[in-house]
Structures are given as structure tokens and as C-alpha cells.
Amino acid sequence: MNTFDEIYAKIKEYPTIIIHRHISPDPDAIGSQAGLARAIKLAFPDKKVLCAGGDVGDLGWINTMDDVKDGDYQGALAITVDTADTPRVSDQRFKTADFVIKMDHHPNVDPYGVMNYVDENKPAASEIIADFILTEKLPLTAEVAYPIFAGIVGDTGRFMYPETSAHTFEIAAQLSKTGIDTNEICRNVSEVSLQEARLQNAVLNLMHVDPSGAAYATISQKQLKELGVTTEQANVTVSTPGRIKGIKAWNVFVELADGTYRVHYRSKGPVINQLAQNHNGGGHALASGAKAKDQAEVKQIFDELIAVTKQYRSDHD
């Protein structure tokens, strides 16, 4: 693994720096990308610093993307944030940059950067970016702190998930001292539209709970269409089953237009990322994603989830 100093030396060296994040972005993807870009721009006003990637959906309140031209990659440094593997990088032109640096907090299944800084014990890529900014003494203004705080709030579930540490709170305090409206950020991260809330409701109504504490719900294309909710917006339902006492691990299956399924895994203890890896996916120990080609694979995935949940209970109860 490379050091912050080595990464900073590369940033100093390149006149153009293009920052990428993952597809289907969440607040941590957009927040870590924007925070790093803004801090570099403030430290080096003469450099061209661009944020690349597809549609940001409802996250325009954190940041919007720049119009990045093919020619911008010539002699440029590309930095990816919050993105575990090459196919998940939003805008594959990052491969055409002169030099690639990966900064991430997922298990390092694909160290695709020429330099890689990966710390999977961090709850958010945004916390790594805050550490980088503070270590290398880049400017930490309110415009830098705002997206980083949003990323940390998003990926820690408002400081609830287990990787949240004393250091996370120390970073949050430093960000807060820049004068950002933390209340507004937390509200923006957690607010949903009425249609999204109705879909959350549907997930609770449809949820099947196994005696082991494993649970699942499937959202069909028909339901999405009826409620006027996109596949991306269906992400708001993923943490909903976790509010129920007794549920230890769960899947939310979202049917896609081609009849296959996007699979979400979440857990309060049983390790689920190895299960996700068996179905074209991956992620964190307690939050992963995968794909299922049909109902038979959906059933297999849930059977596997029941098995690890049972095992976890027999080890811990």
C-alpha cells in the first residue's frame, strides 16, 4: 500500500487531476470525490481539477459532475475514490489517464491503481479523504467539509454502523468546526420522497422473515412503475429491514427491466460479503451487493443467507 505522502507528491506533479467514483453513487462516493477535488483546487488554483462520472441522481445537493473531455486525460492523473474494482468505476476513461491512484475503504479485491491506498477498517471513503487533507495540510474550508461530512453520515448510517470509531467522531468534529450546517446534511441524507417512503412500506409488508433471523423482500418492476420509483431510488429501501428487532441479516432483491435482479445484502453480524462474491458481487463484511439471473438464483441466495445466519446464531447466542 502507498502512503499519503506518495499520493500527495503525484498530485503536486500533475497539472490535470480527474477524480472518479463508483457507478450508482451514494453520498460517500459523491462526497469523497467532491471533498478531494475541492481541497486540491484550493491548494493548487492553477491545476485543472475535474469530477468525472455519470448522473448523480438525487445527490446534486452534494456535488455535480464536470464536463470532462477525452483530451483532458492526456498527461493527467486520475484518482478513483470509494470504488473497489475496475468495472464499478463510473466513466471508464479513467484508464486512459497517465497515472491512476485508487483510494478506497472496500476490501482490496482489485488493486487496479498504479498507487493504491485502501483501508477497509474505515467506515467511509470520505473519512480517508479527511485524513488525507489533514495529514497533507490541504485547506479544510466549509466547501470542502460539507461533502465529506455528507459522505461520512451516509456510509456510517448517521454514525450507527460498527466501523464508526472515536476517530470518526474526531473527524466529524473538525468538519463541523468549519461552520457547515450538519443538521441540514443529516436531513438531506435521510429524507426520502413520498413515493420512496411508500416503497419502504411495501418492503416491510412483503418481507419474509425466517426463524433464523434472515429476511428478504423482492421489489418487482411492476411495483417500481406503480409507485413511479426508479431502480436507483429503490436503494432507499435497503436499510429498512434492519430497523426490525430480531432481523440479523437480510436481502433486498430489486427486479431489473431485463428480468434479472440487483441483490442487496445487509447484516448486523453474520459476514455476508463472501456470499455476495459467489454471485458476481462483493462489498463489505456487513454490506454487500450482487446480481441474480433469475428466481432460482434469488432462492439460492436467500438459502445461503439463512445458513450463515443460523451459523452466526449458534456461535453467538
Q: Applying CB under 6 A, which residues contact ligand AMP?
A: 84, 106, 238, 264, 280-284, 287-291
Q: Which is nearer to ligand AMP, 213 or 289 (CB)?
A: 289
For the CB of residue 4, give the shortest distance to ligand AMP in the complex, in Å. Answer: 22
Q: Report in angstroms how near the CB of residue 265 gets to ligand AMP at its nearest.
A: 7
User: Shortest Cβ distance from residue 176 to ligand AMP (Å)?
Assistant: 25
Q: Which is nearer to ligand AMP, 10 or 106 (CB)?
A: 106
DSSP E strand boundaries for the chain: 16-20, 48-51, 77-81, 99-104, 115-118, 208-209, 214-219, 249-255, 261-267, 282-283, 287-292
Q: Work out how close the CB of 128 gets to ligand AMP at its nearest, in angstroms, rounded to a whole number.
A: 14
Residue pair 196/164 in contact (Cβ under 8 Å)? The answer is no
CA nearest neighbour of 289 among 262, 260, 261, 308? 262
Q: What minimum distance in Å lies between the beta carbon of 261 and ligand AMP?
A: 12
Return the number of the residue (84 or 138) whose C-beta is nearest ligand AMP: 84
Minimum CB–partner distance for residue 273 and ligand AMP (Å): 8
Residue closer to ligand AMP by CB (options 64, 280) is 280
Q: Tell me the three cell numbers of residue 83.
A: 470504488
- The CB-nearest residue to ligand AMP is 289
* Minimum CB distance to ligand AMP, residue 287 (Å): 5
| Helix, strand counts (H, E) of the chain | 10, 11
Neighbours of 261 (CB within 10 A): 25
With respect to ligand AMP, which residue has the nearer C-beta, 77 or 215? 215
Q: CA Rg, the chain, in Å? A: 20
CA 224 vs CA 78, 137, 207: distances in Å: 36, 46, 16
From CA 57, how far away is CA 83, in angstroms rounded? 18
Contact status, residue 117 vs residue 81, Cβ threshold 8 Å: no
Q: Confirm if 52 and 34 have CB atoms less than 8 A apart.
A: no
Of residues 3 and 92, the one with the C-beta less far from ligand AMP: 92
Shortest distance, position 280 Cβ to ligand AMP, whole Å: 6
Q: How far is the CB of 28 from ligand AMP (least distance, A)?
A: 8
Residue 111, class by beta-carbon neighbours within 10 Å (0-12 exposed, 13-18 middle, 19+ buried)?
middle
Question: Which residue reads 445527490 in cell numbers?
Answer: 59
Q: How far apart are CA 251 and CA 253, in angstroms?
A: 6
Looking at beta carbons only, is 16 or 237 nearer to ligand AMP? Answer: 237
Indicate the residue among 16 and 273 with the shorter CB distance to ligand AMP.
273
Q: Which is nearer to ligand AMP, 62 or 144 (CB)?
A: 62
Beta-ladder partners of 290: 263
